[in-house]
Chain A
């Protein structure tokens, strides 16, 4: 079914075997990014020129590309935080049932990113918060960088002198993304398995923001730190304890090249269901799904919803020891480098399934296509949220009508119990 009857032309910026092998298996023809392509797997740099006004270049109806023009709204740490905060405010104004709060005044459904400030912009706000809880550890991340570069932990204000407004020269220049940082409350009670800390890398495919159509890849994985977790402040400099990024862990002595510190989400589920029970495990995975949908909803108004675009995001999530998930960040170009053989198989499937969803089966890309994917073409993805389905077909929301994932606006039906119906979101 996945075999394309038409030999499409593809362009690709990354020389990654999981990409090229997929294109070749379909009999696609490689072309230069400057030529006429049907499918372009671009890196974030070249995507700017594709959409820049100066290039004078208009995408044709049969062309698709793997990024939205302003994906930074979701994938740059500061912008994501700003958008989610705004989204919460808007819902609050509408008195949406989603803004339900608990006895401590925290959002029940919408409190899913660790408390975060922008530096230097929010420096004073941050100082105020820091003084309230001086024993908290914070994590500083440069806005525009990925793979753990430039990240450090902070537990004293003096470490942040450089970012205070006072230190700026009088001719104030608005900071660029290069030297803006976000500082977030560090999750200091992460869930540990075998004594080790981990985070989740989940792949989410978005084919449209308005209406929102997004899919979750079932074969996500946990990334483990090689060193036993230790919240001791003396260990703050030992980044192997704190950062799960494979690019960081790979340089450690204990890095194992056979498994690369990666554990499948299925194994995580087996462990959690066995040791903690089914109800809390279902709740956790359900919450993760909803967080992702909320984060996408939060940017759906600002993203330019170009119909030529799709995007496969790498979501990073940390679970704390109360089994509450926290959204840490979203990557626009999750690594397609394979560290192990099972990693290669998984990423190959990811690309294969992405292509099957973004290109109408057996046809050339077509912007007029309604982007509704039949169950047979979902592969290892399931429908995370489909605004069209959720709004047009109330039957799909009936929990009884559970023919498995994919048939529904939202995965399953039982997950929706006790939650506001997604159809109420406008």
Chain B
């Protein structure tokens, strides 16, 4: 293994490999190789290795290691660093996140008290049967949701982020040099435009892209046919890093589902199906308050969306089992957030009686369903769709609704948006700010939802291609800036927040890739 991996990191990787399925699979395969008659005892090791490599096991191992590297970034902390420090190094942000979690939980609890409904209850037999029979059409005859309201919306979350202050940083002088123009007042380290250009250099204007050069106006011989041909080879190679590299220039519609599964390392076997079925039976057995929140969310978002209403029933089949999935808890080791706890009645505060609620530790907010919706275009089997969504969420999207100093966290993305817009469109930024319309107030919801529900579905998928490809969410603020630039002519004329919002209300006609190219590379 390369020397730049610290021994401790390699150690952990090996540990994780040993406890995963690949380890026993490899062992069995190696035994199979040993038993082969053409292997010489003198060259046992070499023989087994070549055997494993030629039967495809080496590639599988490489894929597993690749997935580990993707989700476990190299850490520069010494081994003895406390875990909460690794989750979030800045104490004041850690506190802010804790306060925010407390607020969410309080709001959830007060809804329970007000409406007199429990956080969880076992369903009576009859109800279980009924639910099971309606599993694929949960959209019709859902529960009564008139009293349920979303716990929070992106708007509420933005207010929290706006109030964040670094105690070591003097911003008390409101006209001072240190006060930032935008809403985010934290001095966090960001990638500047030059770094972004290097990071996204494969998206440069002189590079042909899916999402630009595959348009129906352009003869397929010019680009698209070759692109599809290459993509098929990539899929045949079945190697995560290659698929990721390919995705940098976008995936053709017909290949996206496979390419994404390879990048994310989703390869389903009967255990996965069984596991999903188990989650489903947990949904059937117990009724959770978060179910109603998710129901309400789907009804408020996807059901009314002319691109996603078709998939309403699918969304429940993904979102409800998701809340029961304790595998999701693993991502909290990388997340500044901590799974919320609830206590058995009468034992409030007694750690022994604490349970994580909901079991996956994620309390949905208004718009959460939109993280799943675009994926419904790609996978028609709920099980596949489920695992792809779970992986994308626990790699990327959790960062969009927790407070942290991580460069991919929503705070940094918001700040990056404001900084880029100030640098590239100073006049526009100043104008909007002076008419009482801070640009982030409009763009924040786009960022939190990763643009899902705002762009047309094909465009969201083209955008997410790049998130997976570059393993980064920084493309989101880049696009948000591009949209402001693109609508600049109308935005400089507005005199109020509402007018600005109206100019940016409909993004469904936008072609995102050319816009990103324009804003990253044209100046």
Residues of chain A touching chain B, judged by Cβ–Cβ distance below 8 Å, are 193-196, 224, 227-228, 254, 256, 258-259, 261-264, 266-267, 269-271, 273-275, 277-278, 281, 340, 342, 400, 402-405, 414
State whether A274 touches B306 (Cβ < 8 A). Answer: no
Structural contact, B140 and A271, CB atoms closer than 8 A: no
| Size class of the B contact interface (CB-based, 8 Å) | 35 or more
Instruction: Report the bound CA distance from A227 to B311 in whole Å.
Output: 13
- What are 28 A-to-B residue pairs whose CB atoms are below 8 Å? A194-B314, A195-B136, A195-B137, A196-B310, A227-B140, A228-B136, A228-B313, A256-B304, A256-B309, A258-B304, A258-B305, A258-B306, A263-B310, A267-B457, A269-B253, A270-B457, A274-B254, A274-B257, A275-B257, A275-B377, A277-B254, A278-B253, A278-B254, A281-B254, A402-B220, A404-B216, A404-B217, A404-B219
Task: Report the minimum CB–CB distance from B381 to chain A (whole Å).
Answer: 9
User: Is B304 in contact with A228, judged by CB distance below 8 angstroms?
Assistant: no
Given A274-B377, A275-B379, A414-B220: A194 and B312 within 8 A (CB)? Answer: yes
Q: Are B305 and A259 in touch, CB under 8 angstroms? A: yes
Report how far A405 CA is from B140 CA in the complex, Å. Answer: 42
Question: Contacts A194-B313, A271-B377, A275-B380; is A228 near B216 (CB within 8 Å)?
Answer: no
Residues of B with C-beta under 8 A to A195: 136-137, 313
- Decide if A224 touches B256 in the complex (CB within 8 Å): no
Complex Cα distance A400/B311, Å? Answer: 39
**Could you tell me the distance between the alpha carbons of A400 and B136 in the complex, rounded to whole angstroms?**
47
Interface string of B302-322 (1 = CB under 8 A from A): 011111011111100000000
Are A266 and B314 in contact, CB atoms less than 8 angstroms apart? no
User: Which chain B residues (210-250) contact chain A, with CB distance < 8 Å?
Assistant: 216-221, 228
User: Is the CB–CB distance between B216 and A405 below 8 Å?
Assistant: yes
Contacts of B377 in A (CB 8 A): 267, 270-271, 274-275
Nearest CB of A to B14, in Å: 38
What distance in Å separates the Cβ of B313 from its nearest Cβ neighbour in chain A?
A: 6
User: Pick the contact of B376 from A194, A228, A414 — CB < 8 Å?
Assistant: A194
Closest to A405 in B: B216
Beyond known contacts A274-B254, A400-B221: 6 more, CB 8 A cutoff: A194-B310, A194-B313, A224-B309, A267-B310, A278-B253, A404-B216
Given A266-B458, A267-B457, the answer on whether A259 and B306 have CB atoms closer than 8 Å is yes
Q: How far is the CB of B133 from chain A (nearest CB, A)?
A: 12
In the complex the two chains form, what is the Cα distance from A266 to B508 in whole Å? 13
Cross-chain contact of A228 among B140, B257, B456 (Cβ < 8 A): B140
A103 smallest CB distance to B (angstroms): 29
Task: List residues of chain A with CB within 8 A of the CB of B457.
Answer: 267, 270
Decide: B254 and A267 in contact? CB cutoff 8 A: no
Complex: A269 Cα to B377 Cα, angstroms:
10
Contacts of A224 in B (CB 8 A): 309-310
**Alpha-carbon distance between A98 and B355 when the two chains are bound, in angstroms:** 69
| Complex-state Cα separation, A271 to B257, whole angstroms | 11
Across-interface contacts of A256 in B (CB, < 8 A): 303-304, 309
- Rounded to whole angstroms, the CA-CA distance of A164 and B458 in the bound complex is 52
A277–B183 Cα distance when bound, in Å, is 45
In the complex, how many angstroms separate the beta carbon of A194 from the nearest chain B beta carbon?
A: 4
**CA separation between A259 and B508, bound complex, in Å?**
15
Contact B379 A340 (CB under 8 A): no
Alpha-carbon separation in the docked complex, A404 to B220 (Å): 10
Residues of B within 8 A of A267 (CB): 307, 310, 377, 457
Q: Given A228-B313, A259-B305, A278-B252, do A402 and B219 touch, yes or no (CB 8 Å)?
A: yes
Measured between beta carbons, the chain A residues less than 8 angstroms from B218 are: 404
Bound CA–CA A227/B134 (angstroms): 12
Contact B313 A259 (CB under 8 A): no
Give CA–CA (A277, B228) in the complex, Å: 11
Residues of B within 8 Å of A271, CB to CB, are 377
Contacts of A254 in B (CB 8 A): 140
* Chain A positions within 8 Å of B256 at CB level: 274
A114 to B396, CA, bound (A): 49
Known contacts A259-B305, A267-B457; A273/B217 CB under 8 A: no
